[in-house]
Amino acid sequence: MKFNKLFYGLWILFFVLFAYWQFNDPDPEVWVSIYAVAIIFCLLGIRGIFPKIPLTILVVACLIGAVYYWPDSVTGWVSKELEQKNLAMKTPQMEEARETFGLMIIALVMLPGLIKSWRK
Protein backbone atom coordinates (compact mmCIF):
# COMPACT_ATOMS: atom_id res chain seq x y z
CA MET A 1 0.00 0.00 0.00
CA LYS A 2 2.86 2.36 0.74
CA PHE A 3 4.24 1.77 -2.76
CA ASN A 4 0.86 2.76 -4.26
CA LYS A 5 0.81 6.02 -2.33
CA LEU A 6 4.34 6.97 -3.33
CA PHE A 7 4.07 5.82 -6.96
CA TYR A 8 0.69 7.33 -7.74
CA GLY A 9 1.38 10.41 -5.59
CA LEU A 10 4.45 11.24 -7.67
CA TRP A 11 2.53 10.69 -10.88
CA ILE A 12 -0.21 13.02 -9.70
CA LEU A 13 2.42 15.76 -9.42
CA PHE A 14 3.80 14.93 -12.87
CA PHE A 15 0.35 14.85 -14.48
CA VAL A 16 -0.55 18.19 -12.88
CA LEU A 17 2.60 19.63 -14.44
CA PHE A 18 1.83 18.01 -17.79
CA ALA A 19 -1.70 19.49 -17.69
CA TYR A 20 -0.32 22.93 -16.77
CA TRP A 21 2.06 22.86 -19.74
CA GLN A 22 -0.88 22.12 -22.05
CA PHE A 23 -2.51 25.51 -21.45
CA ASN A 24 -0.42 27.06 -24.25
CA ASP A 25 -1.39 24.20 -26.59
CA PRO A 26 -3.70 24.74 -29.59
CA ASP A 27 -6.21 22.32 -27.99
CA PRO A 28 -5.73 22.60 -24.21
CA GLU A 29 -9.24 21.43 -23.32
CA VAL A 30 -8.52 18.00 -24.82
CA TRP A 31 -5.14 17.44 -23.22
CA VAL A 32 -5.89 18.98 -19.83
CA SER A 33 -8.94 16.70 -19.68
CA ILE A 34 -6.85 13.64 -20.57
CA TYR A 35 -4.34 14.43 -17.82
CA ALA A 36 -7.21 15.15 -15.39
CA VAL A 37 -8.54 11.64 -16.02
CA ALA A 38 -5.05 10.25 -15.33
CA ILE A 39 -4.95 12.25 -12.08
CA ILE A 40 -8.33 10.83 -11.03
CA PHE A 41 -7.15 7.26 -11.62
CA CYS A 42 -3.94 8.00 -9.70
CA LEU A 43 -6.03 9.28 -6.78
CA LEU A 44 -7.99 6.03 -6.90
CA GLY A 45 -4.70 4.11 -7.07
CA ILE A 46 -3.50 5.79 -3.88
CA ARG A 47 -6.58 4.40 -2.15
CA GLY A 48 -6.01 0.97 -3.67
CA ILE A 49 -9.04 1.20 -5.94
CA PHE A 50 -8.46 -0.15 -9.44
CA PRO A 51 -11.71 -0.30 -11.46
CA LYS A 52 -11.13 -3.00 -14.06
CA ILE A 53 -13.27 -1.86 -17.00
CA PRO A 54 -12.55 1.90 -16.81
CA LEU A 55 -8.80 1.25 -16.43
CA THR A 56 -8.87 -1.14 -19.36
CA ILE A 57 -10.65 1.44 -21.51
CA LEU A 58 -8.17 4.15 -20.46
CA VAL A 59 -5.07 2.07 -21.20
CA VAL A 60 -6.39 0.78 -24.54
CA ALA A 61 -7.52 4.27 -25.60
CA CYS A 62 -4.11 5.74 -24.70
CA LEU A 63 -2.31 3.02 -26.65
CA ILE A 64 -4.56 3.53 -29.68
CA GLY A 65 -3.99 7.29 -29.47
CA ALA A 66 -0.24 6.80 -29.19
CA VAL A 67 -0.21 4.61 -32.29
CA TYR A 68 -2.33 7.19 -34.12
CA TYR A 69 0.01 10.08 -33.23
CA TRP A 70 3.25 8.06 -33.53
CA PRO A 71 5.89 10.24 -35.26
CA ASP A 72 7.43 9.16 -38.57
CA SER A 73 10.87 9.23 -37.00
CA VAL A 74 11.38 9.22 -33.24
CA THR A 75 15.08 9.99 -33.58
CA GLY A 76 14.27 12.81 -36.00
CA TRP A 77 11.79 14.26 -33.54
CA VAL A 78 14.24 14.02 -30.63
CA SER A 79 17.02 15.67 -32.63
CA LYS A 80 14.67 18.53 -33.63
CA GLU A 81 13.67 18.99 -29.98
CA LEU A 82 17.30 19.11 -28.88
CA GLU A 83 18.16 21.44 -31.75
CA GLN A 84 15.56 24.05 -30.82
CA LYS A 85 16.55 24.06 -27.09
CA ASN A 86 13.13 25.10 -25.78
CA LEU A 87 9.64 23.66 -25.47
CA ALA A 88 7.93 26.04 -27.89
CA MET A 89 5.88 24.26 -30.54
CA LYS A 90 7.56 24.84 -33.90
CA THR A 91 5.56 22.38 -35.99
CA PRO A 92 2.35 20.38 -35.54
CA GLN A 93 4.40 17.19 -36.00
CA MET A 94 6.49 18.06 -32.93
CA GLU A 95 3.33 18.59 -30.89
CA GLU A 96 1.84 15.29 -32.04
CA ALA A 97 5.05 13.47 -31.14
CA ARG A 98 4.92 14.95 -27.64
CA GLU A 99 1.29 13.93 -27.33
CA THR A 100 2.21 10.39 -28.37
CA PHE A 101 4.60 10.04 -25.49
CA GLY A 102 2.17 11.67 -23.06
CA LEU A 103 -0.39 9.00 -23.93
CA MET A 104 2.23 6.26 -23.61
CA ILE A 105 3.24 7.55 -20.18
CA ILE A 106 -0.38 7.47 -19.00
CA ALA A 107 -0.79 3.89 -20.29
CA LEU A 108 2.42 2.73 -18.61
CA VAL A 109 1.58 4.40 -15.29
CA MET A 110 -1.88 2.83 -15.27
CA LEU A 111 -0.63 -0.62 -16.29
CA PRO A 112 0.32 -1.86 -12.76
CA GLY A 113 -3.16 -0.93 -11.49
CA LEU A 114 -4.75 -2.60 -14.50
CA ILE A 115 -2.80 -5.80 -13.86
CA LYS A 116 -3.88 -5.75 -10.18
CA SER A 117 -7.50 -5.25 -11.18
CA TRP A 118 -7.47 -8.25 -13.54
CA ARG A 119 -5.78 -10.50 -10.94
CA LYS A 120 -8.55 -9.94 -8.42
What are the residue boundaries of the structural domains of the chain, listed by start? 2-119
Residue 68: CB atoms within 10 Å: 11
85/87 Cα distance (integer angstroms):
7
Is residue 88 pLDDT above 70, yes or no? no
Structure confidence by residue, pLDDT tens digits, 11-32: 999 999 999 988 887 788 999 9
Once rounded to an integer, what is the mean pLDDT over residues 85-96? 68
pLDDT score for 108: 96
What's this model's pTM, rounded to 2 decimal places?
A: 0.85
**What CA–CA distance (Å, rounded) separates 41 from 10?**
13
Residue 27: per-residue pLDDT:
82
Q: Give dist(CA 42, CA 58) in Å, integer.
A: 12
Q: Are 76 and 42 in contact (CB under 8 A)?
A: no
Rounded Cα gap, residues 64 and 7, in angstroms: 24
48-73 pLDDT per residue, tens = 999 999 999 999 999 999 888 787 66
